[in-house]
Structure 1
Amino acid sequence: MRSPWSRIAACCTAGILAAGAAACSSSGSGSAADAKGGKVTITVTDMPPTTQPASRKEFTDRVAAFERANPDIDIKPTEAVWDAKTFTARLAGGQLETVFIVPLTEPQGLIKRGQIADITDEVKALPNAAQFDSRSLAPGTGADGHIHGLPTSEYALSLVYNRELFKKAGLDPDNPPKTWDEVRTAAKAISEKTGLPGYAQPTTNNTGGWTLTAVTYTYGGVDEKEEGGKQVAAFNDAPMQQALEWLKELRWQDDSMGSQQLRDSAEIQKSFSAGRIGMMIATPSTFDEHITKYNGDPAIYGVAALPSGGTPATLLGGKMAVVNPKAGEAERKAAVKWIDYYFLTAKHDPKEAGARAKAKAADGIPVGTPTVPLYQPAVSAPVDQAINEHATVPLKNFAPFLAGVKQQKFVTEPSVAAQDLYAALDSAVTAVLTRESADPKAELEKAEKKAVAALERAQR
């Protein structure tokens, strides 16, 4: 997916290209460090490149601070990032870092293939380990309940809506839709009262399939399911047909989506920020681009949890930190300690969270945009309070999202050939929104043929 959700796309796409720098060799089993009790050296990925000097300095400064606090651990960072195409070869060749970051689509497959370490015992030793939100850990948790990954950042798709257009249509902006039927009613009211599209659905650049997948989750369905040890397409199951039928009704029966249908999520967000769309599927973080990139009015931006089609669920995206399966005990302990320090401290330590929020506010970066909680309320609430003391966003506008997301099931993206599946679904969404005669079931059958071929290629 493309801008303005480029950060999200990096989380969703398994085939991110690796940075040009050669990866450092992992220390493998770590037996020497374990036996002698000496200094442990671990390698970590995702150091910002030299083209991002400020971010790189912040990273290296934090590495230095970690090493001062942990004199028995030596951190060797690399610029490498996740690349599914080279992962297996790098692992077999001993070139994989001790700690590396993967999209949420990856951990379950890596767990089944034994390609990442079991870090259950190391995680249990962390502060607030018992307070993790089980939904945030689920993508990195095996069928046996053992933990193989820790979340570094997660997002949930939501319903973003124009509070001003809600008022003009006689709707309550503090009580946004909770079901797709309510979205349909609100979209029709907005369209009739303002002449603007009440709801907009992307159709291109894989974003049509991406958002249709999210709606399908709320009807209790999935894009792909496991059969005979492999992932197979589930396009013709009832939930996805219901989701596409809902779009068709909104478009042709209600005439609530306007006439411009061939757009991706970036184009829709631009129109939304200009005040010309009532509702769209997005993430709360798009608020940042709304005000910094598109000069949108902060007051019009409202966010609700993704509405339900019968199942309170949403698409969960983001990243996880995992550990090289060849790492020894001392390396695993050091790796998990680094993950907690670098990625999670600000998620469970109010003092650190407040300090970072204050610095961001001083730099003009929006503060207070909600994220998916990685911890239970006993931990996350004080952190949120510390952040919100420096908030620069209209916190009231995010309240419906925060209330609704607590009740939702988090479902990750398809684990195999996600982008190919999204591309196939783009065509089905486009057909239904541009041709009144298009039959959702028939269009999904066409899309499934493309998806089947992609899944077969990916699992050879």
Structure 2
Amino acid sequence: MTEPVHRSADSRTRSRRRGLAALGTAALLVVSLTACGGGAVSGKSADGRTEITVSGMPPTTLPAGRKDFLAQVKAFEKANPDIRIKPTDALWDAKTFPARLASGQLETVFRVPLTYPPEMIERHQIADLSKEIEALPHGAEFDKRLLAPATDSDGKVYGIPTEVYSVGLVYNRELFSRAGLDPDKPPATWDELRTAARTITDRTGVAGFGMHTTDNTGGWMLTTMTYSYGGRMEKESGGKQVTAFREGPTGKALGLLKAMRWTDGSMGKQHLRGTDDLTRDFAGGKVAMLLGPPSTYGAYVSKFHGRPDAYGQAPLPSGGEKATLLGGGVAVVSPKADAAQRTAAAKWIDFFHLRTKYDPAQAAERTAQVAADKNPAGIPGLPFYDAKVSGPAAAAEREHSNVPLKNFDPYVNSLGTTEYVVEPPVAAQELYAALDSAVQAVLTRESADPAAELEKADRRIGPALDRSQR
């Protein structure tokens, strides 16, 4: 899943052009990733320059953003006079992407969700960028956890992350205080979360915890919980990915939700909510805790007018493993690209997407611009590089931030020791959809049996897994 951005159109494209791409979900989250549409790889332009096509240009309906994007193209070409960029404005569409990929008509550089590279690597649909990444500024200092989704078993890297997020615990600090809980010490385990949710409900009358359940978000967040219990949703068997969510950890997560709903009464009575619904209720003080990445703050403040000081962000509670779901987008390159084009592509990705991650001046400029547009600026996120590289850029960003940074400290302080697990590698959205029903069942029917609901979900997802691996 990827997370939606809640900013004005032009400010969204302005921040995006400086490397702050928007992430989001088909539910909570989901990235508006661009890909597809352009022609075949071009090779050399008429004047002998290396020519590449790239996705990501805003459409004509966003004239300011389109103008800014083209200005970035012009600046890149000035800095790299031997390269010519041909941008396209085709948008990512999960329904049409497979056909466009099979037709070979994607751009030289296009972006996909982090779930896609493993299968594309296996099918030789994207280029090995290992050497090109090593040649980039700070290429050797990339956080290997972020490169892992695009890395094969031999250690070759086939993509460059452009935006990433990890799911944590979002909580209302004011409700914690009203319930007599310490807002600076959010729950670190699921047992602690259960206790805190019950306490908040008993002392304030507010639902202590809310769970996503619709539009694939229920399965997405159940997957996240499963990772924290040490489980996985899929595993390899006989050369294919098969379901793994009936092996124990997912059942524990689903059982916890059922107990909180029916035994504790700490989840309220509204249980058919997607990302916007749940964020709206959270901003309105109707829910004390939910799962989400730090970017939830953007919608919480800008779209639903939540109180900035009440927002808290912590790492995902542990069920035995300090692990959480890693999502986002990765830029990949057509396998048709020759050596010169691969080098040009890597340079463009670095110029357009990565500079704010390691260049303090770029980070400061980007954050100041977003803040000037009256949008949440400098929301803490995952560092792309090791501390000596990411640290100065993050510090520059903090100087211009307009968010309550201290409220994100529990999350930020956990990043160095958290395991990031990518979303299921095959038919992830179909799997999430099947699991939505399981989550809904245990929250709306007291008689629902978690094991039986997971068995039903297993039967539903089987055909989709088979189709995806033919």
- In the superposition, the TM-score normalised over structure 1's length comes to 0.93
Check if 1:112 corresponds to 2:122. Answer: yes
What's 2:108 paired with? 98
Counterpart of 1:23 in structure 2: which amino acid? G
What's 1:234 paired with? 244
Q: Distance in 2 between matches of 1:46 and 1:381?
A: 28
1:115-130 correspondence runs (5 A): 115-130=125-140
Q: Distance in 2 between matches of 1:90 and 1:194?
A: 53
Check if 1:342 corresponds to 2:315. Answer: no
Q: Cα gap change, 1:380/1:208 in structure 2, threshold over 3 Å: closer, same or farther?
A: same
Q: Cα gap change, 1:342/1:18 in structure 2, threshold over 3 Å: closer, same or farther?
A: closer
Deviation digits for residues 94-143 of structure 1, max 9, x if unmatched? 52211111110101111111111111111111111121111111111111
Q: Distance in 1 between matches of 2:99 and 2:278?
A: 40
Q: Cα gap change, 1:213/1:94 in structure 2, threshold over 3 Å: closer, same or farther?
A: closer
Q: Distance in 1 between matches of 2:100 and 2:456?
A: 37
- Does the CA-based 8 Å contact 1:24-1:78 persist in structure 2? no
Q: Distance in 2 between matches of 1:182 and 1:2?
A: 27
Q: Distance in 1 between matches of 2:189 and 2:467?
A: 37
| C-alpha displacement of 1:359 | 1.2
Q: Distance in 1 between matches of 2:220 and 2:140?
A: 33
Structure 1 unaligned segments of length 5 or more: list them. Answer: none
Partner SS, residue 121 of structure 2: helix
Check if 1:23 corresponds to 2:33. Answer: no
Q: Cα gap change, 1:412/1:357 in structure 2, threshold over 3 Å: closer, same or farther?
A: same
Counterpart of 1:177 in structure 2: which amino acid? P
Q: Distance in 2 between matches of 1:427 and 1:92?
A: 32
* Count of aligned residue pairs for this structure pair: 453
Q: Cα gap change, 1:14/1:424 in structure 2, threshold over 3 Å: closer, same or farther?
A: farther
What's 1:399 paired with? 409
Q: Cα gap change, 1:108/1:12 in structure 2, threshold over 3 Å: closer, same or farther?
A: farther
Q: Distance in 1 between matches of 2:97 and 2:408?
A: 39
Partner SS, residue 414 of structure 2: helix
| C-alpha displacement of 1:287 | 0.6
Q: Distance in 2 between matches of 1:448 and 1:72?
A: 53
Q: Cα gap change, 1:98/1:172 in structure 2, threshold over 3 Å: closer, same or farther?
A: same
Q: Distance in 2 between matches of 1:41 and 1:173?
A: 54
Partner SS, residue 171 of structure 1: coil
Q: Distance in 2 between matches of 1:14 and 1:397?
A: 25
Partner SS, residue 100 of structure 1: strand
1:141-152 correspondence runs (5 A): 141-152=151-162
| C-alpha displacement of 1:82 | 3.9
Check if 1:370 corresponds to 2:380. Answer: yes
Structure 2 unaligned segments of length 5 or more: list them. Answer: 7-22
Counterpart of 1:219 in structure 2: which amino acid? Y
Deviation digits for residues 247-272 of structure 1, max 9, x if unmatched? 11111221111122122222111010
- Does the CA-based 8 Å contact 1:12-1:317 persist in structure 2? no
- Does the CA-based 8 Å contact 2:35-2:110 persist in structure 1? no
Q: Distance in 2 between matches of 1:88 and 1:207?
A: 23
- In the superposition, the TM-score normalised over structure 2's length comes to 0.92
| C-alpha displacement of 1:85 | 5.5
Q: Distance in 1 between matches of 2:5 and 2:433?
A: 17
- Does the CA-based 8 Å contact 1:12-1:103 persist in structure 2? no
Q: Distance in 1 between matches of 2:32 and 2:72?
A: 28
Check if 1:76 corresponds to 2:92. Answer: no
1:133-212 correspondence runs (5 A): 133-212=143-222
Q: Distance in 2 between matches of 1:381 and 1:134?
A: 17
Deviation digits for residues 199-256 of structure 1, max 9, x if unmatched? 0112122111111110001111112212112111122111111111111111122111
Check if 1:9 corresponds to 2:25. Answer: yes
Deviation digits for residues 325-347 of structure 1, max 9, x if unmatched? 11111111111011111100111
Q: Distance in 2 between matches of 1:17 and 1:349?
A: 25
- Does the CA-based 8 Å contact 1:47-1:77 persist in structure 2? yes
Q: Cα gap change, 1:87/1:214 in structure 2, threshold over 3 Å: closer, same or farther?
A: same
Q: Cα gap change, 1:14/1:67 in structure 2, threshold over 3 Å: closer, same or farther?
A: closer
- Does the CA-based 8 Å contact 2:33-2:111 persist in structure 1? no
What's 1:443 paired with? 453
Counterpart of 2:366 in structure 1: which amino acid? R
Partner SS, residue 84 of structure 2: strand
What's 2:255 paired with? 245
What's 2:466 paired with? 456
- Does the CA-based 8 Å contact 1:102-1:322 persist in structure 2? yes
Indicate the RMSD between aligned Cα atoms, in angstroms.
2.3
Q: Distance in 1 between matches of 2:177 and 2:101?
A: 56
- Does the CA-based 8 Å contact 1:314-1:409 persist in structure 2? yes
Q: Cα gap change, 1:455/1:191 in structure 2, threshold over 3 Å: closer, same or farther?
A: same
2:313 to 296, 303, 307: 303
Q: Distance in 2 between matches of 1:14 and 1:386?
A: 25
Shifted more, 67-76 versus 412-421: the winner is 412-421
Check if 1:353 corresponds to 2:363. Answer: yes
| C-alpha displacement of 1:457 | 2.7
Counterpart of 1:8 in structure 2: which amino acid? G
| C-alpha displacement of 1:24 | 2.6
- Does the CA-based 8 Å contact 2:168-2:294 persist in structure 1? yes
Check if 1:58 corresponds to 2:68. Answer: yes
- Does the CA-based 8 Å contact 2:4-2:30 persist in structure 1? no
- Does the CA-based 8 Å contact 2:2-2:29 persist in structure 1? no
How many percent of aligned residue pairs carry the same amino acid? 55
Q: Distance in 2 between matches of 1:344 and 1:455?
A: 34
1:393-432 correspondence runs (5 A): 393-432=403-442
